[in-house]
Chain A
Amino acid sequence: MTAAIEFLDVSRVYGEVHAVDRVSLTVQAGEFFAMLGPSGSGKTTCLRLIAGFETPDTGSVLLNGRDVTDDPPYARDVNTVFQDYALFPHMSVLENVAYGPRVRGQRKDDWRRRAHEMLELVQLGHFAQRRPSQLSGGQRQRVSLARALINQPRVLLLDEPLGALDLKLREEMQIELKNLQRRLGITFVFVTHDQGEALSMADRVAVFNRGRIEQLDTPRTLYTRPATAFVARFVGGANVVAGELAQRLSGRAEPFAVRAENIRLRAPAAPADANSMSCLGDVADVQYHGAMSRWQVQLESGEVFAAALPDVSSNGDFKIGARVRLEWSRADAVPLTAAE
């Protein structure tokens, strides 16, 4: 089956900086695909390479099997929802939404009708004659969605679309977007720096770091089996154990990761378990997060471990300054390929 999007060894270089460093990836048709990473990791540049706002310095970009590397944005079957929505202020909401059909030469009656339909789809039917400046942030976002979808593109690109919304609105939009994608069946490519968003919405996530993809997997795999130290830390904030400590605890030199939720707190004198690794430390900080609490425990060797435990009364033994034994089963130690 032809992939919706394919990158073959794509690089984009600005002077000395490799914004995108020899990236290859495949996005399947109908997928909800997320590109996750910190600022400057290259995820937005990759999005722009798909859309056609940037041209790769090496490699090729394929859409539906066709090489579009040199094609301008208006020649690609891709539409974008911009981070700042990019609504045209000198046009009404209706004219904004109808822009695509209009510049492609459709007749006025046709594009007016279709634009009204799209506005109904995003529940903004009554706002057709308003100007973008008269709308709220959430409304503007829906207009830019309608404007992009009216062209029935094969692929919809979203550049951190929920960043400007408050928490409640963001959560609502996450559900709406997911439903929309399921209903329309088109490929969504979503850029975000929020790992919670990526994990909850995407079918597959590509984790970017310094212009490269460190891991491309389903959310569950990324979370339970991170491949590198960066992924382990970025997605879910796991503890990364490396160097001497790793050698001592696991018997091997390779670094490994342990999730905070998999760490148990024991009294220092508690007996060790053959199936577990353990080490001693002092509680440096405790944070209350409602259902769970997070402990920061500092080992003698200096490393700080995070342990997350449900809120039960026995935790009262482990106050700040107390000596504790950290324990986790060997199976929960995930080997990593690289530590930073």
Chain B
Amino acid sequence: MRALSTFLYRRPNFYVLLLLIPPLLWFGTVYLGSLFTLLAQSMYAIDEFTAKVVYEPTLATYKQVVTQPANVDIILRTLSMAIAVTIACGLIALPIANYMVRYASARGRALLYVGVMLPMWMSYLVKVYAWRLILAKQGILSWMLDTVGLGAGLDAVLRIPGIGGPSLSSSYIGMFIVFVYMWLPFMILPLAAALEKVPESLLQASADLGARPVQTFRTVTLPLALPGLAAGSVFTFSLTLGDYIIPSVVGAPGYFIGMMVYQQQGTAGNIPLAAAFSVVPIVLIMVYLTLAKRAGAFDAL
């Protein structure tokens, strides 16, 4: 035993190799292998007549994804939702993160941190379902709005094309609310971390020089918190872009990228199209990551 130990001690590289081979083997075959298969599949196409996959490399499927108006609609719809959700999360996260870091007492801050993390630990599907209940026609939200007399207002909002729908639980605005709810902790935590890094002395100096709290916030705190916002936005953007559960459960009739992927591989059996569609979020996320990196997101993570 000792001899083996000494043998490995004298050959640290071999030892590391020995340790890493099993996991790398797994990752290589299961994960990387799948990703490459996906890429490969996206370069094939479905023969329209036989509905079978033609194993010849072609860019036709990609062309289909980016040129067919219906598909472009889907992509734009998903993209705009992702951007809207990101902006909303950022706006809502700012006051609570700022409060957590600057104003809460030590105990209050601990409570708030745990309070923000708690929803992240709860089942994703259950949370989506909970919102379906809340947004349902006779659900809590309707009841609340009816009680304060805004029931008619809700109906009016639902009739607005583009954000409305048959009911709250199958409308764009309903989806929007659920998305914002889901990803809010992912925005709050990096933002709070970035805000913590802003030294108290800077804020004191700003006040000393005559700025009111709101001005200090706008000119000192906010620019310095930008990396945190950028980091959080990476989560909200990419998570919204790829999601298909929420659009299915709380969704308007319009399709989202994720739903397209899920549907194409299922009933249509059109794996190449599904694969090509799934490459779109990857590309969009990469683009977003480069932008976010410029804003300092990677320093904040």
Chain A interface (Cβ < 8 Å from any Cβ of B): 70-72, 74-75
| B26 touches A (CB below 8 Å) | no
Residues in B whose Cβ lies below 8 Å from that of A74: 2
Which 5 A-B residue pairs are closest in the complex by CB-CB distance? A72-B9, A72-B6, A70-B10, A75-B6, A72-B10
Residues in B whose Cβ lies below 8 Å from that of A70: 10
Complex CA–CA separation, A71 to B9 (angstroms) = 9
Complex CA–CA separation, A119 to B221 (angstroms) = 57
- Which of the listed residues B2, B6, B9, B10 has the most CB atoms from chain A within 10 Å of its own CB? B9
Complex CA–CA separation, A74 to B1 (angstroms) = 13
Complex CA–CA separation, A72 to B11 (angstroms) = 11
Complex CA–CA separation, A77 to B142 (angstroms) = 80
Complex CA–CA separation, A75 to B7 (angstroms) = 12
Residues in A whose Cβ lies below 8 Å from that of B9: 72
* Majority secondary structure, B binding face: helix
Chain B interface (Cβ < 8 Å from any Cβ of A): 2, 5-6, 9-10
Given contacts A71-B6, A72-B9, 6 further A-B contacts (CB under 8 A): A70-B10, A72-B5, A72-B6, A72-B10, A74-B2, A75-B6
Chain A: minimal CB distance from B209 (Å)? 42
A72, closest chain B residue (CB): B9
Residues in A whose Cβ lies below 8 Å from that of B6: 71-72, 75
Chain B: minimal CB distance from A219 (Å)? 38
Complex CA–CA separation, A72 to B5 (angstroms) = 9
Residues in B whose Cβ lies below 8 Å from that of A71: 6
Chain B: minimal CB distance from A252 (Å)? 53
Complex CA–CA separation, A74 to B9 (angstroms) = 11
Complex CA–CA separation, A193 to B193 (angstroms) = 40
Residues in A whose Cβ lies below 8 Å from that of B2: 74
Complex CA–CA separation, A301 to B124 (angstroms) = 80
Complex CA–CA separation, A72 to B2 (angstroms) = 11
Chain B: minimal CB distance from A103 (Å)? 10
Complex CA–CA separation, A72 to B9 (angstroms) = 7
Chain B: minimal CB distance from A263 (Å)? 50
Complex CA–CA separation, A70 to B6 (angstroms) = 9
Residues in B whose Cβ lies below 8 Å from that of A72: 5-6, 9-10
B5, closest chain A residue (CB): A72
Residues in B whose Cβ lies below 8 Å from that of A75: 6
B8, closest chain A residue (CB): A72
Chain B: minimal CB distance from A60 (Å)? 15
Residues in A whose Cβ lies below 8 Å from that of B10: 70, 72
A75, closest chain B residue (CB): B6
B12, closest chain A residue (CB): A55
Residues in A whose Cβ lies below 8 Å from that of B5: 72
Complex CA–CA separation, A184 to B200 (angstroms) = 57
A71, closest chain B residue (CB): B6
Chain B: minimal CB distance from A213 (Å)? 28
Chain A: minimal CB distance from B7 (Å)? 10
- Which of the listed residues A70, A71, A72, A74 has the most CB atoms from chain B within 10 Å of its own CB? A72
Chain B: minimal CB distance from A12 (Å)? 15
Complex CA–CA separation, A71 to B7 (angstroms) = 10
Complex CA–CA separation, A71 to B10 (angstroms) = 8
Complex CA–CA separation, A337 to B138 (angstroms) = 96
Complex CA–CA separation, A74 to B2 (angstroms) = 10
Chain B: minimal CB distance from A19 (Å)? 18
Complex CA–CA separation, A149 to B57 (angstroms) = 72
Chain A: minimal CB distance from B42 (Å)? 44
Chain A: minimal CB distance from B14 (Å)? 15
Chain B: minimal CB distance from A52 (Å)? 9
B6, closest chain A residue (CB): A72
Complex CA–CA separation, A176 to B156 (angstroms) = 89
Chain A: minimal CB distance from B1 (Å)? 12
Complex CA–CA separation, A74 to B10 (angstroms) = 13
Complex CA–CA separation, A136 to B246 (angstroms) = 58
8 A-B residue contacts at CB 8 Å?
A: A70-B10, A71-B6, A72-B5, A72-B6, A72-B9, A72-B10, A74-B2, A75-B6
Chain A: minimal CB distance from B4 (Å)? 12
B9, closest chain A residue (CB): A72
Complex CA–CA separation, A75 to B5 (angstroms) = 11
Complex CA–CA separation, A75 to B10 (angstroms) = 12
Complex CA–CA separation, A71 to B6 (angstroms) = 8
Complex CA–CA separation, A75 to B9 (angstroms) = 12
Chain B: minimal CB distance from A300 (Å)? 49
Complex CA–CA separation, A70 to B2 (angstroms) = 15
Complex CA–CA separation, A71 to B3 (angstroms) = 11
Complex CA–CA separation, A72 to B6 (angstroms) = 7
Chain A: minimal CB distance from B10 (Å)? 6
Complex CA–CA separation, A75 to B2 (angstroms) = 10
A70, closest chain B residue (CB): B10
A52, closest chain B residue (CB): B9
Chain A: minimal CB distance from B2 (Å)? 8
Complex CA–CA separation, A70 to B9 (angstroms) = 10
B7, closest chain A residue (CB): A72
Chain B: minimal CB distance from A57 (Å)? 14
Complex CA–CA separation, A74 to B5 (angstroms) = 10
Complex CA–CA separation, A71 to B5 (angstroms) = 11
Complex CA–CA separation, A104 to B9 (angstroms) = 18
A73, closest chain B residue (CB): B9
Chain B: minimal CB distance from A78 (Å)? 16
